[in-house]
Amino acid sequence: MTTTPDRGLVAQARGIFKGVTIDPTPLRESRNFRLLLGGQSINLVGNQISMVAVPYQVFLITHSSLAVGALSLMQFLPLMCMYLIGGSLADMVDRRRLMLITQTLLACTAALLAVGAFLGHPPLWYIFAIAICAAGIQAVDNPTRRASIPRLVPRDQIANALSLNQILSQLGQIAGPAVGGLLLAKAGFGTAYAVNFATFLVSIVAVSMMSPLPPEAGTGLRNPIGAIGESFAFLRDKPILLSNFVVDVNGQIFGLPKALFPALATNVFRNGPAGLGLLYAAPGVGALLGAFLTGWIGRVRRQGRTVVILVAIWGIAIAVFGLFTQFFWLGLLMLAVAGTADMFSAVMRNTILQLVIPDRLRGRLSSVSMMTTTGGPRLGDAEAGAVATLTTPQFSVVSGGLLTVLGCVVVAFAIPVYWNWDAQAAVKYGADPVA
């Protein structure tokens, strides 16, 4: 029987759609992967609620973007220190057990913030102290989760698993700020922090149902200083990984003006907590759309070049956002465009990382990667807050976006090994098979 032209077109369209959209196979085939992502996705909503509430609470107390930036800056040091320690621990102990400990401690920090808010007006030092402690604990939890993913899926499904992880992360980053803005407007800070505490309980239950994730034979508890040194020795001989971090830091420091969102929502857009929630959620909306369209990433050979171009698009979108602050919805659209570009870039950078490094180093090198993705924004918040204090929030946003683009141009010319990186070259780097 011959195929009709209409059916042929439908089949062709389905083939194209399948080629660019995400493959859900890891979720279907791995129970442990489902549990990890299920609990994490619920908890991400709570985390994002706090990500909106804490800086907004600081801004209402101080009326200063510089103070919001200072909070991020003070979180930077424990993040950097604990990421190194956390990555080593993730390679030396059972990753499931370590996640149970970190999630329990993070639940305690959420409870302390809720108690402080319910009792009245907590002092600024109290909020700072808890936020700094939470940042340090998160620096152990994050690389442990990231390093666990390749152990839960086959090697040929790592890119899809990372994309699915990004999708659920972005769902949390959309729902969390939106819900957080509404909770702050209608119920206050105490309720917002209490909801975050409840989501940690869900995550703890999900992780407790996973199978153990012990370290590989011969990589158990040992000298943590030597373990950290081993990871940096590996990096020293891998310029592709160093370049991967450089291009990410460029965008994170200059092109992510979240510290300015409270001031923009309050003094520029004048739409209060609800508008603040939308500003935080908009990049997540774009990133979620991008996450559903990451099927093409696994077929890209010039991955480094593509990352540089995507980060430049991100910077351009941020600059346009800052130029047209008289149009709130245009600003949200530009933040969404930036989020889409960032999603594509993040999945591609993580794919490079996970394919090049061996499993015995995944926890430590995942921690180094997260030092850039979470430490960079803290420095960026401080930079954006300082520039906004000296000039205006709008100037800070625009200049940051343009500096991101300039940084991409520098990387393209100064690091040719990254610009010309071929995905097939991962074979010669000799990453160990996934256990």
Contact 396, 261 (CB under 8 A): no
Per-residue pLDDT tens digits for 180-213: 888 888 889 999 999 999 999 999 999 999 999 8
Domain ranges of the chain: 28-212+224-429
What whole-number distance in Å separates Cα of residue 93 and Cα of residue 370? Answer: 19
Per-residue pLDDT tens digits for 293-349: 766 766 777 778 888 999 999 999 999 999 988 889 999 999 999 999 988 888 888
Contact 71, 258 (CB under 8 A): no
What is the separation of C-alpha 64 from the centre of its chain, rounded to a whole number of angstroms? 26
b/e string for 1-34 if b means 16 or more Cβ within 10 A?
Answer: eeeeeeeeeeeeeeeeeeeeebbeebbeebebbb
Asked whether residue 1 carries a pLDDT value surpassing 70, the answer given is no
Per-residue pLDDT tens digits for 109-156: 999 999 999 998 899 999 999 999 998 898 889 888 888 888 888 877
The upper half-sphere exposure of residue 205, i.e. CA atoms within 13 Å in the direction of its Cβ, equals: 8
Average pLDDT over residues 251-261: 85
Task: Express as a percent the part of the chain with pLDDT over 70.
Answer: 86
pTM above 0.85, yes or no: no
Superfamily the domain 28-212+224-429 falls into: MFS general substrate transporter like domains (1.20.1250.20)
- Reported confidence tier of residue 24, pLDDT bands at 50, 70, 90: confident
What whole-number distance in Å separates Cα of residue 349 and Cα of residue 297? Answer: 10
| Rounded (10°) CA dihedral 103, 109, 110, 111 | 110
Asked whether residue 59 carries a pLDDT value surpassing 60, the answer given is yes
What whole-number distance in Å separates Cα of residue 73 and Cα of residue 382? Answer: 6
Asked whether residue 17 carries a pLDDT value surpassing 70, the answer given is no
What whole-number distance in Å separates Cα of residue 260 and Cα of residue 315? Answer: 16
DSSP per-residue codes, 392-432: -HHHHHHHHHHHHHHHHHHHHHH-HHHHT--GGGHHHHTPP
